[in-house]
Amino acid sequence: MVVSALLIGYWAYRAFYNWLHEPKGLKRLVLGRGEILAPDDPHVLFLESHGYEVISGKHRVPLVVDLDGKEMSSRLYVDYVAVRNGDMYAVKLMRERQPLDWTGSGLRDRLLVFHLLLPELEGILLIDTEDNKIRTVKFELNEEPKMKEA
């Protein structure tokens, strides 16, 4: 009984210690099923023709932004979630009214939020409907910056 009490006490201490030291405000997004997929959705058919399985439709994630004590509402959109070879991807449709800056900082500013909120993603697929092209964006957090050799 003494050994059992010691084990339970140690387990309770470790649980409390881990809870006390976990990062404040650590939040991650868990996507549900999303909208129902239409069987003739051209974007779904396009992804399937490239070997992806679309597992869920559009997700709207409501956000509240606090700016100097004034709350504003916003939304984060994921158009689809797709899987290929066991890897999961968020899918975004490229829109003419929201052009994308194809630089490292432009991609970071626009898409890094998906990588941070959904760490199980392998990357983000961007569907360019005008060029019938799928572009894949992946983020890797480097521990140390790479130095260029002279």
Residue 126 in any domain: the answer is yes
Residue 37 in any domain: the answer is yes
Residue 18 in any domain: the answer is no
Residue 20 in any domain: the answer is no
pLDDT at 59: 84
Q: How many domains does the chain have?
A: 1
pLDDT at 62: 82
* CATH (domain of 53): 3.40.1350
Written as one string, the DSSP assignment of the chain is: -HHHHHHHHHHHHHHHHHHHHSPTT---------SPPPTT-HHHHHHHHTT-EEEE--EEEEEEEEETTEEEEEEEEE-EEEEETTEEEEEEE-BTTB----SHHHHHHHHHHHHHH-TTEEEEEEEETTTTEEEEE-----SSPPPPP-
pLDDT at 127: 92
> Rounded distance, CA 77 to CA 31, Å?
11
> Rounded distance, CA 81 to CA 52, Å?
10
> Rounded distance, CA 137 to CA 105, Å?
13
* pLDDT per residue as tens, the chain (150 positions): 899 999 999 998 888 777 666 655 545 555 666 777 888 889 999 999 999 999 888 888 888 889 999 999 988 888 998 999 999 999 999 887 877 888 888 898 889 888 888 888 899 999 987 888 999 999 887 766 665 655
- Structural domain harbouring 48: 28-137
Cβ neighbors of 64 (< 8 A, separation 6 or more) are 71, 72, 73, 74
pLDDT at 8: 93
Residue 71 in any domain: the answer is yes
Phi/psi of residue 108, nearest 5 degrees? -60, -50
Residue 3 in any domain: the answer is no
Residue 11 in any domain: the answer is no
pLDDT at 61: 80
Residue 70 in any domain: the answer is yes
